[in-house]
């Protein structure tokens, strides 16, 4: 059972969140009092009140979803915010949007409500009676959440309005025009750097943000900005990539953080509190806050499935791609046994390695099938049984939010992008991840990559698909592959990666046919599943997805454009919308 003190704290947080509902419309946000206005001037009198107020911020981390709402999650599921990636095929075909949406509750209203709450904290904390150390910590907490929220707004929408002040309704700055994304990102990075300096080394273990959460977020933001400027803008992003290295090293050099022995335990553990690999966790508690992810992957009549594109990315244990000429470890994919033979062990931990399940041929007591034939098992925990697994809204395994493995791969990618990667750089970062997984280490001359003294030569790296946006070096390619595999089904993370690399073509079913194929099942049992000429499941036989340049950014909600216009301010729509 999870610690009772933590349970009491989260009971209070949950109750407070219910009272202080933050789901407001954009017009409400701009014209009415904030939803946080359950407070008054007497509220800002103690450290406990500041702490309680800060707990509301954590709702922004969706984790595995809340209750029976699985669409709002970071993992496995598509749906909100046009989340589509190249690893997973949903039970419903998702096309990229064609027309601009009028509203966006999750990436606009919710984020700006959180930003306003952080600005209120920053205004009030200096006058609260508490130690200077704690005062600095909670200022850092507010700056962390404000920065990370603006970071996600920029990722999704580019140029957006920016304010670092708590504004009253009549303030003209409420309707400030959008600020260029580059300027916002510089403010994001400055805020995260300051929050890392201000926050405590540890506060409630990994259940709440601390100094190292700020460094992990800074690593993410700087890597994003460095690669975005390189691949989207054709600019030199090295200053940001170097900052990503420094921030990553701050976490990597902390001996308190270590990789778990088992990779799968990141995703199927009942308790992540104090886990040495998890920098920040979203905690779930029985009868307080639970989710439905285990229920979905264990009982659904048809679940999401791994695409052929994703499955073919798993190397063999010698570290070589399955497509590489002369790779004797690869035995083909004529049947399920051959498909999983000698492969990266994470493959067989993510999906069932012994059976395919598809329409017409289910398996298991709950008749599991997936869209692609690959049935997910990543989130299964043998210690949780019965209704705690099979009932929606009853699952309580914890979700990671920031992890050491991500920081390791941020560092490796920054080094590879800078062209300065040494074998020592790889050994202190990506090779730790690969060793934990059970595959051969990488070595490099700074550009090429080798495994077991064999130069890696993946023909997919120079394929026509890759040439659309540009071919990357062999080392960058292998680091990107490692991110794809290590974070398989971490949907929001994967989409953010392919967007910053300008590889949205991966989602286009015409340019990347393998994203619309599944396992090689040969002649299907029954007539419900369609296969192509080579026996691979055709996931959406009659549907195609087109990815356009405009899809790298979501549209600015048209209702908000009209609202600004009524105040005499132009809020520009993103290109193509």
Which alpha helices (DSSP H) does 332-372 contain, by range? Answer: 336-340, 345-350
pLDDT value at position 83? 84
H or E element in which residue 178 lies: strand 178-179
Q: Which long-range contacts (CB under 8 A, 24 or more apart) does 68-71 make?
A: 68/292, 68/392, 68/393, 69/292, 70/291, 70/292, 70/293, 70/296
- pTM, two decimal places: 0.93
- Per-residue pLDDT tens listing for the chain (577 residues): 454 334 334 433 433 333 333 333 344 434 444 545 544 567 999 999 999 999 999 999 999 999 988 888 999 988 767 789 999 999 889 999 999 999 988 889 999 999 999 999 999 999 999 999 999 999 999 999 999 999 999 999 999 999 999 998 889 899 999 999 999 999 999 999 999 999 999 878 899 999 999 999 999 999 999 999 999 999 999 999 999 999 999 999 999 999 999 999 999 999 999 999 999 999 999 999 999 999 999 888 799 999 999 999 999 999 999 999 999 999 999 999 999 999 999 999 999 999 999 999 998 877 889 999 999 999 999 889 999 999 999 999 999 999 999 999 999 999 999 999 999 999 999 999 999 999 999 999 999 999 999 999 999 999 999 999 999 999 999 999 999 999 999 999 999 999 999 999 999 999 999 999 999 999 988 888 999 999 999 999 999 999 999 999 999 999 999 999 999 999 999 999 9
Residue with tokens 């130069």, as numbered in its chain:
455
544: left (phi over 0), alpha (psi -120 to 50) or beta: beta
Domain boundaries, the chain: 205-281+403-418
pLDDT value at position 37? 52
- Angle at alpha carbon of residue 71, lines to 66 and 75, rounded to 5°: 85
pLDDT value at position 2? 58
**C-alpha to C-alpha distance for 553 and 564, rounded to whole angstroms:** 20
Task: Return the structure tokens found at 101.
Answer: 């949406």
**C-alpha to C-alpha distance for 155 and 256, rounded to whole angstroms:** 31
Tell me how far the alpha carbon of residue 322 is from its chain's centroid: 27
pLDDT value at position 300? 80
Kindly state the DSSP code that residue 161 receives in the 8-state scheme: E
Sheet holding 454-455, edge to edge: 442-444, 449-451, 454-455
- Angle at alpha carbon of residue 392, lines to 387 and 393, rounded to 5°: 100
- Angle at alpha carbon of residue 297, lines to 294 and 301, rounded to 5°: 135
Q: Which residues contact 276 (CB under 8 A, 6 or more apart)?
A: 256, 257, 258, 259, 260, 404
CA dihedral of residues 38, 43, 44, 48 (deg, nearest 10): -100
- Sequence length of the chain is 577
């Amino acid at each position: 059972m999870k610690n009772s003190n933590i349970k009491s704290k989260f009971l209070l947080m949950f109750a407070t969140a219910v009272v202080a509902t933050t789901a407001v419309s954009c017009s409400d946000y701009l014209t009415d009092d904030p939803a946080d206005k359950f407070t008054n001037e007497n509220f800002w009198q103690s450290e406990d009140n500041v702490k309680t107020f800060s707990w509301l911020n954590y709702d922004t981390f969706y984790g595995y979803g809340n209750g029976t709402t699985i669409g709002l999650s970071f993992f496995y599921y598509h749906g909100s915010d046009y989340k589509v990636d190249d690893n997973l095929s949903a039970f419903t075909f998702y096309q990229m949007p064609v027309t601009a949406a009028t509203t966006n509750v999750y990436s606009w209203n919710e984020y700006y409500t959180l930003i306003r709450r952080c600005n209120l904290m920053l205004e009030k904390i200096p006058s609260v009676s508490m130690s200077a150390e704690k005062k600095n910590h909670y200022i850092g907490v507010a700056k962390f959440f404000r920065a990370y929220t603006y970071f996600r707004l920029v990722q999704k929408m580019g140029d957006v309005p920016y304010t670092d002040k708590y504004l009253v309704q009549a303030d003209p700055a409420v309707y400030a025009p959008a600020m260029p994304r580059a300027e916002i990102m510089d403010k994001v990075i400055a805020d995260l750097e300051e929050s890392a300096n201000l926050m405590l080394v540890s506060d409630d273990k990994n259940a709440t943000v601390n100094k190292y959460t700020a460094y992990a977020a800074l690593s993410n933001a700087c890597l994003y900005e460095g690669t975005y400027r390189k691949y989207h803008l054709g600019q030199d992003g090295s200053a940001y990539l170097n900052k990503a290295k420094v921030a990553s090293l701050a976490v990597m050099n902390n001996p308190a953080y270590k990789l778990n022995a088992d990779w799968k335990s990141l995703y199927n553990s009942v308790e992540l509190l104090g886990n040495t690999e998890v920098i920040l966790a979203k905690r779930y508690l029985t009868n307080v806050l639970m989710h439905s992810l285990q229920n979905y992957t264990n009982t659904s009549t048809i679940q999401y499935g791994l695409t052929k594109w994703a499955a073919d990315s798993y190397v063999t244990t010698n570290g070589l791609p399955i497509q590489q000429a002369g790779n004797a470890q690869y035995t083909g994919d004529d049947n399920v046994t051959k498909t999983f033979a000698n492969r990266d062990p994470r493959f067989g931990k993510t999906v069932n390695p012994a059976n395919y399940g598809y329409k017409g041929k289910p398996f298991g007591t709950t008749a599991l099938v997936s869209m692609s034939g690959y049935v997910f098992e990543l989130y299964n925990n043998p210690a949780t049984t019965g209704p705690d697994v099979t009932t929606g809204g009853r699952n309580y395994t914890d979700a990671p939010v920031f992890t050491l493995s991500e920081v390791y791969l941020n560092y490796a990618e920054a080094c590879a992008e800078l062209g300065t990667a040494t074998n020592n750089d790889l050994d202190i970062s990506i090779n730790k991840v690969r060793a934990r997984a059970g595959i051969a280490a990488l070595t490099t001359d700074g550009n090429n990559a080798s495994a077991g003294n064999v130069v890696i030569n993946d023909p997919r790296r120079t394929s026509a698909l890759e040439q659309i946006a540009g071919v990357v070096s062999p080392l960058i390619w292998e680091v990107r592959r490692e991110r794809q595999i290590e974070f398989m089904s971490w949907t929001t993370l994967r989409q953010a990666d392919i967007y910053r690399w300008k590889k949205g073509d991966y989602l286009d079913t015409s340019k990347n046919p393998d994203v619309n194929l599944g396992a090689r099942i040969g002649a299907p049992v029954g007539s419900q599943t369609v296969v192509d000429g080579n026996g691979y499941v055709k996931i959406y036989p009659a549907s195609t997805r087109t990815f356009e340049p405009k899809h790298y950014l979501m549209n600015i909600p048209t209702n908000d454009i009209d609202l600004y216009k009524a105040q005499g301010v132009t809020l520009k729509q993103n290109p193509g919308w």
